[in-house]
Structure 1
Amino acid sequence: MDSIEKAMFGRSVSAVTRPPAVIPPVPQSREDVIERAVNLPSSAPITSPNLPEAHRRTRRSVTLDMERIRASGLLVPDSQRSRIKEEYRQIKRPLLMNVDGKGAAKVDHPNLIGVTSARAGEGKTFTACNLALSIASERNRTVLLVDADILRPAVAKMLGFEGDQGLVDFLADDQMELADVLVSTNMSSLTVLPAGSKHHLSAELLAGDNMRRLTAEMSQRYPDRIVIFDAPPLLATTEARILASLMGQVVMVVEAERTLRAHVKEALSLLNPNQMSGFVLNKSRDLITSGYYGKDYDGHDGQEFGTLPPAGSIG
């Protein structure tokens, strides 16, 4: 499987910080539900099944099969060196610097990181999972990986477990606590929020007020956590653009030798120009220079990078 070849955070970012997003007032009952789940101590998740229910952060825990994860091409956080680990070190460093306030510009909600693409199949789920695994392996970092691609969920399957209830169920049920749908793992620093059940209004739920409130609460009451969203492709639905607007940082996954420049330009035009955003070139077979994607996007509209069939990662 071809891995991520290079992370390129070359898109210019305005130094002007955009005004804070206007979040509708949160009804007291709903706010209490969210706060109980995210306004928690900064220690790692407690996953021991022997503890009383009141002391658990999540209602469910799964054991990730690291050998299965390794065989699927994903990053395994162990002491062995590998090319994919080095690649994701390059990808995550600028993101973590922005979270820590050490980046080139300040942004709102920098700990909310959306991973998306222009079209489906370019490797965004593969990238989101690897990014979460890589950051979760760091000291003093904890990660919540959210499958927000609710029409085509893939995070739970990629990590090797059944998603069951998740984000959709929480957004649809005002009586449900977030802890009911969070899934802790045998990596104490990694928690997963699956996409959840099918719902006839799933797209509307993703673009609704409850999602806005949830992301705002995650950022403000969960400031020491990195929240990574596997987001829908930007050109797939209007809801994907709304979700992207709630993120502090956006990672755009581009498939080497297949993605059209015109599609990438169109997708970028949908993002807030003051958002922190950058590229990950996925499935590349050759080493490239940092200028492969960059200022030359202004020309060659519609040029195709190649005709290789999709291979490797999914998303």
Structure 2
Amino acid sequence: MSIIENALKKANKQGLIDNRNIEDVAIPHPELDPAIENKQSEPMLAHTEVQKGPDNLVSINWEILAAEGFIDHNDAKSQLAEEFRVIKRPLVNNIQGVDVNGISRPNLILICSSLPGEGKTFISINLALSIANEMDKSVLLIDADVEKPSISKQLGIKQSPGLIEYLENDKVTFSDILLKTDLPNLSVIPAGKRHKYSTELLSSQRMYLFAEEVSRRYKDRIVIFDSPPLLVATQAQILAELVGQVVLVIAAEETPQNVVNESIAKLSNCDVVMTLLNKTRKEMDLYGHSYSYGKYGHA
């Protein structure tokens, strides 16, 4: 039994996890696929700045994104695409009211990890891409890791005003920071500039009203926040209080047991907490859910 399984089992006994609100999904490790491992050993491809057109429309370089291990925009039947179909389903079901009781703002989803390097941005982007391909859903991907933003860099979006500018200045509007992409159902809000009081801005009344607004304005919109690591910055816990669903990304067989327990404890007041095992080296069967191998890309 791995340390992650032990950690979750122990947390369950301590009452830190509500099994009714947890799904565990295993994402495979690149070591199982030599082709992927070799690809990732090559120097990272340089991100070209995307072209911004009318109405803040940006064009994502899908070839570079696919080359770095993300869902291939042109291959809807890939193993990775299938894995994220499994991952997104309980989240979408909660939003649609399937087997859910009293979740506040279920269409706001926070993706976080305990520590840096566990793959939360990889999960955030792929989850956003997968949900954006739903027939009746649109996705707003927000880079809320304001100290170390990664969404814009990964998607090739140049520096532009974002969440921080909106929270700092009430003259900045929602439309000023919203970037539409060439995937029709996907929009992005960058983190924006660095700010010494970013934690205070994220815990402000304006941030609370922002969360309420994006949750209620469009019922078919799912909002995904890419958050800072829980145990590195207080911002993640602040953001967790604003959303209805949290996905805790765990690096399988890497994250220590005490770290998992501490993170779960910090999320104990959240309506729904789902754990997602990333970088798995073997097939796992946790809580009756068994998943096999596929591709994996680093965030």
Shorter-chain TM-score bucket reads 0.7 to 0.9
Instruction: State the partner residue of 1:12.
Output: 18
> Per the alignment, do residues 284 and 213 of structure 1 end up closer, same or farther by CA in structure 2, a change over 3 Å counting?
same
Instruction: State the partner residue of 2:58.
Output: 62
Q: Specify which of 95, 100, 103 is matched with residue 91 of structure 2.
A: 95
Q: Specify which of 214, 217, 229 is matched with residue 218 of structure 1.
A: 214
Instruction: State the partner residue of 1:153.
Output: 149
In 2, the alpha carbon distance for the partners of 1:80 and 1:248 equals 28
In 2, the alpha carbon distance for the partners of 1:292 and 1:192 equals 35
> Per the alignment, do residues 196 and 48 of structure 1 end up closer, same or farther by CA in structure 2, a change over 3 Å counting?
closer
Q: Specify which of 53, 69, 72 is matched with residue 73 of structure 1.
A: 69
- Post-superposition offset of 1:61: 1.4
Instruction: State the partner residue of 2:194.
Output: 198
In 2, the alpha carbon distance for the partners of 1:271 and 1:123 equals 19
- What RMSD in Å do the two structures reach over aligned CA positions? 2.3
Unmatched segments (≥5 aa) in structure 1: 1-7, 16-46, 50-58, 294-310
In 2, the alpha carbon distance for the partners of 1:14 and 1:220 equals 26
> Per the alignment, do residues 13 and 174 of structure 1 end up closer, same or farther by CA in structure 2, a change over 3 Å counting?
farther
Unmatched segments (≥5 aa) in structure 2: 1-7, 22-51, 290-295
8 Å CA contact 1:245, 1:272 repeated in 2? no
Summarize the alignment of residues 132-211 of structure 1 with structure 2, pairs less than 5 Å apart.
Answer: 132-211=128-207
Instruction: State the partner residue of 2:298.
Output: 313
Deviates more, 1:72-81 or 1:166-175: 72-81
- Post-superposition offset of 1:176: 0.8
In 1, the alpha carbon distance for the partners of 2:100 and 2:214 equals 24
Cα distance per residue 1:150-195 (max 9 Å; x no partner): 0010001111221421000111011011111111100110000000
Using structure 2 for the length normalisation, give the TM-score.
0.78
> Per the alignment, do residues 222 and 162 of structure 1 end up closer, same or farther by CA in structure 2, a change over 3 Å counting?
same
Summarize the alignment of residues 251-270 of structure 1 with structure 2, pairs less than 5 Å apart.
Answer: 251-270=247-266
> Per the alignment, do residues 264 and 13 of structure 1 end up closer, same or farther by CA in structure 2, a change over 3 Å counting?
same
- Post-superposition offset of 1:244: 0.7
8 Å CA contact 1:118, 1:235 repeated in 2? yes
In 1, the alpha carbon distance for the partners of 2:248 and 2:97 equals 21
Using structure 1 for the length normalisation, give the TM-score.
0.74
8 Å CA contact 1:112, 1:248 repeated in 2? yes
- Post-superposition offset of 1:281: 0.9
Cα distance per residue 1:244-285 (max 9 Å; x no partner): 111100000000121112111111111144511111111112
2:84 aligns to what SS in structure 1? Answer: helix
Amino-acid identity (%): 40
Instruction: State the partner residue of 2:24.
Output: none
Matched letter for residue 101 of structure 2: A
Matched letter for residue 113 of structure 1: I
In 2, the alpha carbon distance for the partners of 1:80 and 1:186 equals 17
In 2, the alpha carbon distance for the partners of 1:90 and 1:208 equals 35
8 Å CA contact 2:245, 2:270 repeated in 1? no
In 2, the alpha carbon distance for the partners of 1:189 and 1:291 equals 33
Instruction: State the partner residue of 1:282.
Output: 278
2:235 aligns to what SS in structure 1? Answer: helix
8 Å CA contact 1:77, 1:137 repeated in 2? no
Summarize the alignment of residues 112-131 of structure 1 with structure 2, pairs less than 5 Å apart.
Answer: 112-131=108-127
1:266 aligns to what SS in structure 2? Answer: helix
The alignment covers a number of residue pairs equal to 249
